[in-house]
Amino acid sequence: MPKDNAPDDRAAWIEVIPEAEAEGELAALYDEMRSAKTGYVDHILAIHSLHPETMRDHARLYGTLMHGKGDLSRPEREMIGVVVSAVNACNY
């Protein structure tokens, strides 16, 4: 993304409700999803702000995929994510 925060040709623009403007269920969900490291909600979750139920579902799916029972270790799961992102030319 350019320094002026304008989307470039590779970036999708998705309307989100900023954390400072969130109310009710969304504000509570933002509080729940806020990163302990950064103090912010990750963009990949904030894109669901117009439909908070999908934010919760996304976080649950991620938790299951990355931390659920299975034969793959966490590093192996992360590696799959990196490879898929690279194949898809994903900048995230």
pTM for the structure as a whole: 0.72
The Cα 12–Cα 4 span in angstroms is 15
Is 7 within the bounds of a domain?
no
Q: What total number of domains does the chain contain? A: 1
Length reported for the chain: 92
Q: Given the structure tokens 């994510």, which residue do they identify?
A: 81
pLDDT tens digits, residue range 13-63?
889 999 999 999 999 999 999 999 999 999 889 999 999 999 999 999 999
The Cα 26–Cα 61 span in angstroms is 19
Is 3 within the bounds of a domain?
no
Is 56 within the bounds of a domain?
yes
* Whether the Cβ atoms of residue 35 and residue 83 lie closer than 8 Å to each other: no
3-state secondary structure of 34: coil
Q: Which domain holds residue 78?
A: 19-87
Is 26 within the bounds of a domain?
yes
